Structure formats: C-alpha cells, structure tokens
Amino acid sequence: MSLKAIKIPTFEFVAKQLYALIFSGILIAISIGSLSIQGLKLGIDFTGGTLVEAGFDKTANVEQIRSKLAQDGFVGSDVQYFGSTKEVLIRLKPQEISSAELSTRVISLLGDGADIRRVEFVGPKIGDELTEDGGLAMLYALIGILIYVAFRFEYRFALGSISALIHDVLITLGFFSVFQFEFDLTVLAAILAVIGYSLNDTIVVFDRIRENFLLTRKTDSKVIVNDALNQTLSRTLMTSITTLLVLIALFFLGGQIINSFALALIIGVFIGTYSSIFVASAMVLAMGIKKEDMLPSEKEKQEIDTRP
C-alpha cells in the first residue's frame, strides 16, 4: 500500500517545538537540581550491605521490627512490606561483623514466626565497582550510538540523537531522585534498555526525514521534518502503546522484585516517545540541516552508478 493511500495526519509538530523544549528544559532543571541536592536512593547493589526477605504467619509490624533492629545496633535499617503485609524486606547498612553472625542475629530478632526467604550480602567494594561500571556502561553506549548514527546518517543527526538520549536518561534519573524510588541494578538495566528503545524510535524518524529530503521537491527544512514526523506518527504511537501495555502489566502483576524495573521502563518509554517527536528533530533543525547535506557526494554518485 502506498503512502498516498494512507491518511497521513497533519499535526504542526515543528511549530510546537519551542514550547516542547521549554517543557523539557524545566524537567531537566528539576532533575539536575534533585540529583544535586538529594541524589538517588541507591539500593544495596551499589551501597553494599545486607538484604533480608522474611515471611510471617500474620501481619508484620514493621515499626516493631525497625525498633528491635535499632536496639540491637542496626541503626538506619530500612524495613518495608514486600508484596503483602505478611512479607517484609529488610535492608541493613554494611556491618563490621561476619555475614554468618549478622544473619544469625537478624533471624533471632525476627523470632520463630519468621520464615527467612532470602539473605543477600554485598560488600562496599563491590558496590563501588558496580556504581563505576554502571556509569561507564551508559557512557560507552552513548559514544557507540554517536559513532553509529554519524556513519549511517550525518553528524547533525548523531548530535540530535545523543541530545535526545541524554534528555531521556536525565529525566528518568530525575524522576527516581525526586520521588526517592530505590535505584538498583534492575533500574540501571532498564535505563540502558530505554536508551536502545528511544534510539530505535529516533532512527525511524531520521530515516524518514532523510528519505523526504532526497525525494521531495520542497526546500523548507521545517516542512520536510514536520511531514516526516506525521508520516511516522502512527508507527511511533503503536509501538509505544503496545510496549506500555506489557510494562503496565509487569508493574502491577509482576511482583515487588521487578516493580522498579518496570517503572523505569514506563517512564523511559513515555519520555523516549516524546523526545523522538520533539527533541531529536528540534536539535537537527537547530543545527541547520538542509537538503544539500543529504545529497550524495560526487564520489558516492560514481560508486552508485557503477553498481550492478
């Protein structure tokens, strides 16, 4: 089916990009401010310590458990319900005692009615290494994407895609910082997945922009970009909606263990879809992309003519 047979929407995305950039600027400012002032609520994966999951025969009293832990020297312990009021998740700061002794003390404090489901120990050195490796993973991903897009398209597209990805990562991190949701390895994995998802959406839009530059007789870059955004809108929305349906199901039905992972992806998909439409294309236009930049060079023309 040809594009002419499909009813293409005619939204004025480019005309609204200034408002979108102001909105993005406000979100980024809030995110940077929150990250600078209160930072992220790092999970045990990064800070080190002990994680204990326990089940009870009846509703657990988290305040009483927290009080018992504090009296026994475990000051600053985080105790919360985990899935139901009969299940509790306890996070303890690193202690200068053996893991076996710590586990024994916690089990005795919880009493005979407690069923210990899981005990995990993470040393502070391992936590520091995970923090460093996680940051490097995001940095390497962005550098690799910059090189890939620059070779596939044009350097303005590469800078536009990186701007959109940094925008998505900052706002997702800011969301976790503002609301102090726990940031652990599953959330880091989700952010890396968001980078890939957002890039895929952006590449689809850029591919249509380049195609329109080469095929259309129009010379106004804003009109060409706006046409490309409208032509890819249905694909962008359908991909995002179907992905969100799965993630929402995971968030509500997948259990406490993957809640943070699903939440990070939900936020990332929302922001990634928004940035693919408004941020990436706006950055490309701001850098002065025009039809001449998309035309192949004389050498490339000769190579194309000599192909069988």
Q: In the chain, where are the structural domains located?
A: 13-40+126-295, 49-122
- This prediction has a pTM of 0.79
Q: Could you read off the pLDDT of 97-118 as tens digits, one per residue?
A: 776 777 778 878 887 778 878 8
What share of the chain has pLDDT > 90, as a percent?
25
Q: Could you read off the pLDDT of 7-19 as tens digits, one per residue?
A: 777 889 999 989 9
CA gap 264, 14 in Å, rounded = 28
Q: Bridge-partner residues for 89, per DSSP? A: 53, 80
What's the pLDDT score for residue 125?
A: 62
Query: From the CA atom positions of the chain, what is the Rg in Å?
Result: 25
Asked whether residue 226 carries a pLDDT value surpassing 70, the answer given is yes
Q: Could you read off the pLDDT of 191-202 as tens digits, one per residue?
A: 988 888 888 888
Q: Which residue has the tokens 């993957």?
A: 258
Q: Would 13-40+126-295 and 49-122 be classified into the same CATH topology?
A: no
Asked whether residue 152 carries a pLDDT value surpassing 80, the answer given is no
Average pLDDT over residues 197-225: 84
Query: Confidence band (pLDDT; 50, 70, 90) for 246?
Result: very high
Query: Confidence band (pLDDT; 50, 70, 90) for 206?
Result: confident
Q: 155: Cβ–Cβ under 8 A, 6 or more apart, which residues?
A: none
Fold category of 49-122 in CATH: Alpha-Beta Plaits (3.30.70)
Check: CB of residue 150 under 8 Å from CB of residue 284. Answer: no
Fold category of 13-40+126-295 in CATH: Multidrug efflux transporter AcrB transmembrane fold (1.20.1640)
* 3-state SS assignment for residue 254: coil
What's the pLDDT score for residue 2?
A: 46
Check: CB of residue 52 under 8 Å from CB of residue 116. Answer: yes
Average pLDDT over residues 26-33: 96
Residue 16 DSSP symbol:
G
